[in-house]
Amino acid sequence: MKISQYLLGDKSIWGIVVLLSIFSFLPVYSASSNLVYVVGSGSVFGYLLKHVAIVCVGWVIMYAVHLIPFKYFSGLAKLGIPVVVVLLLLTAFQGTTIDGANASRWLNIPVIGMSFQTSTLAMVVLLAYAADYFANKKEEKIGFTESFLPFWVPVLLVVGLILPANLSTALLILFMVTVVAFLGGYPLKYLAALLGAAILFLTLFILLAKAYPNAFPNRVDTWMSRVESFTGQGDVNTDYQIERAKAAVAVGGYVGIGAGKSMMKNVLPQSTSDFIYAIIAEEYGLLGAISLLFLFMLLLFRILINANKSESFFGKLLILAMGLPIVTQAFINMGVAVALLPVTGQPLPLISSGGTSLWMTFLALGIVLSVSANQPTTTNTNVSNPLAELSHEA
């Protein structure tokens, strides 16, 4: 009996996800030597086994979630919003500071000796909530006043709690919520006003942090240092990460220097996570880097195809809300590695090592597959515009 018989939904997405996650074993195994020989902890094989175990648990999460009819994620999202707000509050109060900077990204769970990055769960829950909210408002004229309390207050709470410790994730969540709101038919004038207010708030936050640096833990100096380094205005000693990443890409050439032979992995910080794409480019060359980019582009294409095929407006929004952030995060990570974007700290989905971020990626993909599993088997020839239903007149 074929294994594929037990895998519901889009088989192409299954294939891409499994291929990417299995491929991740090679660069993670190679780059782990940085943790062993530079940091001086564990063993390379031990880090590989840990990563393999995390990926296998992720596969189980994805498989279990894809069996759940996607209509149930509507109620789960509503229940999840207060839960993630509480978890983010606990993370903020429990968090630590490093040289005065807010490092409260992980919630420590002493009972099991693990830590959990609450912002990754918050992103999945909030975007599912956004999809549900706008699906329920499809036939209504949406105004700002009536949407502020039930929708924007949870969004502002989640983003505001994540912002001090993790700007890039907060901005990514806000951007994706805006995309879902646009596709859900929210008036553009309100979206523009809200984005303007968000920019104003961020500016005031930065000014307050600079004026009163000891008033509250923050990472404003880190943010500004990264932007200055990206624009060439910072201290040459602060942009060592991106310089080493560019060196790794340059050394790789067209076909790479070979699996496991990276030289930059021992001097490039976060070589198993934030800058793993640079290690891949060094070991597998331009060919390997473009192949990886192609797979994420193919994943994006399949996400759009399945969104088009869904007969449920909630299904359309949900599959885009879960799938687009994964591809966007991948493009951001790649852009940082090749110096097209400032350093953000975003991992490469399905490739970078890590527990929470990987599991939440598999969770989101399980939801995508749940939607795709409830699709018509034949194409509706009456549909003239693939994504026409995603934007209705407000």
Taking only the tens place, the pLDDT of each residue in 260-315 is: 888 888 888 778 888 899 999 999 999 999 999 999 999 999 999 999 999 899 99
Q: How many domains does the chain have?
A: 1
Looking at the predicted structure, is the pLDDT value of residue 342 above 60? yes
Q: For a pLDDT cut of 70, what percent of the chain falls above it?
A: 82
pLDDT digit string, tens, across residues 348-359: 999 998 888 899
Query: Which element (helix H / strand E) includes 160?
Result: helix 153-162
Q: What is the pLDDT of residues 156-174, one digit of tens each?
A: 999 989 988 888 899 999 9
Q: How high does pLDDT run on average in the chain?
A: 84
pLDDT exceeds cutoff 50 at 209: yes
Distance CA 279, CA 265 (A): 7
Residue 392 has what pLDDT?
46
Instruction: Evaluate if residue 386 carries a pLDDT over 60.
Output: no
Give ∠ CA 173-61-174 in degrees, rounded to 5.
Answer: 5
φ and ψ of 324, to 5 deg:
-60, -40
Tell me which amino acid residue 20 is: L
Alpha carbon of residue 270 to chain centroid: 17
Helix H or strand E segment including 200? helix 188-211
Q: What is the DSSP letter of 36?
A: I
Q: Contact, 10 vs 369, CB < 8 A?
A: yes
Amino acid at 192: A
Query: 389 lies in a domain?
Result: no
In a domain, 96, yes or no: yes
3-class SS shares of the chain: helix, strand, coil, % to 5: 65, 5, 30
At position 173, the amino acid (one-letter code) is I
Handedness of CA 215, 216, 221, 227 (dihedral sign): negative
Q: Does the residue 381 lie in any domain?
A: no
**Is 359 domain-assigned?**
yes
CB 262 within 8 A of CB 279: yes
- The pLDDT of residue 49 is above 70: yes
Q: Is residue 257 part of a domain?
A: yes
β-partners of residue 117 are: 106
Question: What average pLDDT does range 36-63 have in this prediction?
Answer: 85
Asked if residue 394 belongs to a domain, the reply is: no
Question: In terms of residue numbers, what domain contains 168?
Answer: 9-375
370/219: higher pLDDT: 370
Residue 380: inside a domain? no
Q: What is the pLDDT of residue 14?
A: 95
Inside any domain, residue 390: no
Q: Which residue has the tokens 């949406």?
A: 142
